Amino acid sequence: MTAPDALTDVLKRQGAGCAATGSPFSGALLDRAAAALIDQPWLRAAFAPRWDLSRRELFAEAVALRWLGALHIWRSKTRAMRSPPPIQASGGRAMRPGVAAHPGSHGDAGGARRRVHGP
């Protein structure tokens, strides 16, 4: 199965538009997606619901931009799952490991800055 010309064209055109307006990373992703539609089954599956739309419909539904948004959300969620859970600093405020406390806060006697370490 090969990618429909309309979908490939829209991904390339939207990618060029992103690159021209200050989003070269998004432009490169869309350009690579257009090229990968031919041999990447997972990518074809991602676009399957919109496979037969015309160029006009693909642009009207912002298919390329929605795909970029989905990648952004997925990346944010996977990054959040890998980050360590917050720890409780003295004073009951949640802090992440490696975050310096403010002088005089979180039970920091003497007001010196210190590094909060994880368990």
Model confidence over 41-70: pLDDT tens digits? 888 888 888 888 999 999 999 999 898 988
Residue 38 maps to a domain: yes
Please give the pLDDT value at position 98. 52
Q: Reply yes or no on whether the pLDDT at 71 is more than 90.
A: no
Query: Do residues 17 and 66 lie in contact, with contact meaning Cβ atoms separated by under 8 Å?
Result: no
Residue 87 maps to a domain: no
55 is in which domain, residue-wise?
A: 5-82
Give the Å distances, CA to CA, from 113 to 2, 82, 105: 60, 27, 9
Residue 107 maps to a domain: no
- The reply to whether the predicted model has a pTM over 0.75 is no
Interatomic CA distance for residues 109 and 88, integer angstroms: 17
Query: Do residues 6 and 53 lie in contact, with contact meaning Cβ atoms separated by under 8 Å?
Result: yes
Residue 104 maps to a domain: no
Residue 10 maps to a domain: yes
Give the Å distances, CA to CA, from 11 to 80, 83, 84, 91: 29, 32, 36, 51
What is the number of structural domains in the chain?
Answer: 1
Residue 98 maps to a domain: no
27 CB-near residues (< 8 Å, 6+ apart): 15, 16, 17, 18, 19, 20
- Confidence at 1, pLDDT banded by 50, 70, 90: very low
Q: Reply yes or no on whether the pLDDT at 107 is more than 90.
A: no
Q: Reply yes or no on whether the pLDDT at 118 is more than 90.
A: no
* 86-96 pLDDT, tens digit each: 555 555 555 55
Residue 75 maps to a domain: yes
Residue 106 maps to a domain: no
